[in-house]
Amino acid sequence: MVDLARTYFRLFALVLVATLVLSACTGASQPGASTAPSAQSGPVAGGTVTVPIGADPTLNPWSPNAFVESLFINRVIFEGITKPGKDLAPAPDLAESWTIAPDGLSWTFKLRSGVKWSDGQAFSADDVAFTFNDIVLKPDLGAQNRASYAAVKSVTVVDPNTVRFDLSRKFAALASFLAYNAGILPKHVLSADPLKTTSFNKGVPVSTGPYKVEKYTSGQSVSLVRNENYFGPKPYLSRLSSRSCPTRTPR
Per-residue tens of pLDDT for the chain, all 251 residues: 444 444 444 444 444 444 443 333 333 334 444 444 445 677 888 999 999 999 999 999 999 999 999 999 999 999 999 999 999 999 999 999 999 999 999 999 999 999 999 999 999 999 999 999 999 999 999 999 999 999 999 999 999 999 999 999 999 999 999 999 999 999 999 998 999 999 999 999 999 999 999 999 999 999 999 999 999 999 999 999 999 887 665 55
Q: What is the pLDDT of residue 162?
A: 98
Beta strands in 101-202 (DSSP E): 106-111, 152-159, 162-167
Residue 121, phi then psi, degrees to nearest 5: -75, 150
Chain CA centroid to CA 218, Å: 21
Report d(CA 152, CA 57) in Å as an integer.
28
pTM of the model: 0.82
Reading across the β-sheet that carries 152-159, which strands appear in turn?
95-100, 106-111, 162-167, 152-159
Contact criterion met (CB below 8 Å) for 207 and 117: yes
Residue ranges of domains in the chain, CATH in brackets: 2-244 (3.40.190.10)
Report d(CA 176, CA 129) in Å as an integer.
18
